[in-house]
């Protein structure tokens, strides 16, 4: 049994923490949202009154936070502008030699900065972002992409395996984040392509089921189709069947594609599709009046195509005469 502090008990963090409890670990959690704390408590997570209290007696600290800015502020007690009080963050509150695991998705540079700060404070640290969404977090089938020194990876692998199905060592500090932004660039671009195909299929008179049955067993098969299908029906567990309740929120996809776009520019890689996908999701996230799963991009494509209600999806061709 490992004493784990889990900071950030949102849609992903809460089920991940619950799976650690199920695996027999002693988990103390903290989140700024009272409802998130209550949900975690129902799953057997001990709740703390502050993040510092949560980590005080932990052997391992796991963070799942919205951005690199939030991560660095949580670690150090101050943000990039110097707001806050230095020495009041998680690194100062934790016992010497604590192992920090960050499962957030952040910029590679922020991941390396966080790692260096943890090491300078006398701790060990790895970056371990995840893929698999809320469904994967709940079912403990996540993929963890880990940036760590070899010895640290050996120590974190059993713990991460309690929350996921696959744990991959992607290199040294920052390597996990590098793999994550590459993966999500593929994911965002593929969801746009799958959604465009369904809208085209509607126009051509194909039913959603017929198109799914073909593509899911043909060369266009991908996760965006077979797990997170953007139209209701073919995959009953996809967010499309729950009015696009996330899931993986469109705003988070926009953020991740923005990280990928920054990396593309910094490295000089010519990746027109990745950059265009980032622009599409940024605009889509800004247009939404409430949070939706990233697969709801299909509705934006319909609207731009003058087909907002998905005419033709019942299998009868549209009349274009």
Residues belonging to the active site:
180
Sequence-distant (6+) residues with CB within 8 A of 61 are: 4, 5, 7, 55, 90, 94, 98, 99, 100, 101
In angstroms, the CA 115 to CA 255 distance is 21
User: Is cis: bond before 226, omega within 30 of 0?
Assistant: no
β-bridge pairing 124-127 and 130-131: unpaired
- CA–CA dist 252, 266 (Å, integer): 21
Listed in sequence order, the DSSP H helices in 127-174 are 133-139, 150-161
Of 25, 55, 48, residue with least CA distance to 123: 55
CA–CA distance, 152 with 65 (Å, rounded to integer): 21
DSSP 167-193: EEE--STTHHHHHHHHHHHHHHHHHHH
- The side-by-side arrangement of strands in the sheet containing 3-7 is 46-47, 26-30, 3-7, 60-63, 99-102, 124-127
Distance in angstroms (rounded) separating the CA atoms of residues 241 and 207: 16
Q: Which residues pair with 26 in a beta bridge?
A: 3
Beta partners for residue 127, in sequence order: 102, 147
């Amino acid at each position: 049994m490992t004493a784990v502090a889990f900071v950030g008990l949102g849609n992903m963090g809460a089920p991940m923490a619950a799976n650690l409890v199920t695996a027999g670990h002693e988990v103390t959690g903290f989140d700024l949202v009272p409802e998130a704390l209550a949900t975690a408590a129902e799953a057997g997570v001990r709740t703390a009154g502050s993040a510092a209290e949560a980590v005080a007696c932990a052997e391992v600290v796991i963070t799942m936070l919205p951005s690199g800015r939030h991560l660095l502020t949580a670690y150090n007690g101050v943000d990039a502008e110097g707001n806050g009080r230095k020495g009041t963050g998680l690194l100062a509150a934790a016992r010497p030699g604590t192992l920090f695991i960050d499962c957030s998705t952040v910029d590679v540079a922020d991941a390396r900065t966080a790692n260096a700060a943890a090491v300078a404070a006398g701790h060990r640290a790895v970056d371990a972002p995840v893929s698999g969404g809320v469904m994967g977090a709940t079912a403990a089938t996540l993929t963890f992409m880990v940036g760590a020194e070899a010895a640290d990876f050996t120590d974190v692998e059993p713990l991460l395996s309690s929350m996921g199905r696959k744990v991959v060592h992607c290199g040294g500090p920052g390597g996990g984040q590098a793999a994550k932004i590459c993966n999500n660039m593929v994911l965002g671009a593929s969801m746009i392509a799958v959604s465009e195909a369904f809208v085209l299929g509607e126009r051509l008179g194909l039913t959603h089921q017929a198109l799914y049955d073909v593509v899911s067993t043909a060369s266009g098969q991908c996760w965006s189709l077979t797990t997170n299908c953007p139209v209701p029906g073919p995959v009953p567990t996809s967010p499309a069947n729950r009015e696009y309740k996330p899931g993986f929120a469109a705003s988070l996809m926009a953020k991740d594609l923005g990280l990928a776009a920054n990396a593309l520019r910094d490295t000089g890689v010519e990746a027109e599709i990745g950059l265009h996908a980032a622009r599409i999701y940024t605009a889509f996230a800004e247009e939404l009046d409430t949070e939706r799963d990233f697969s709801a991009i299909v509705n934006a494509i319909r609207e731009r195509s003058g087909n907002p209600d998905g005419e033709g999806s019942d299998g009868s061709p549209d009349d274009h005469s």
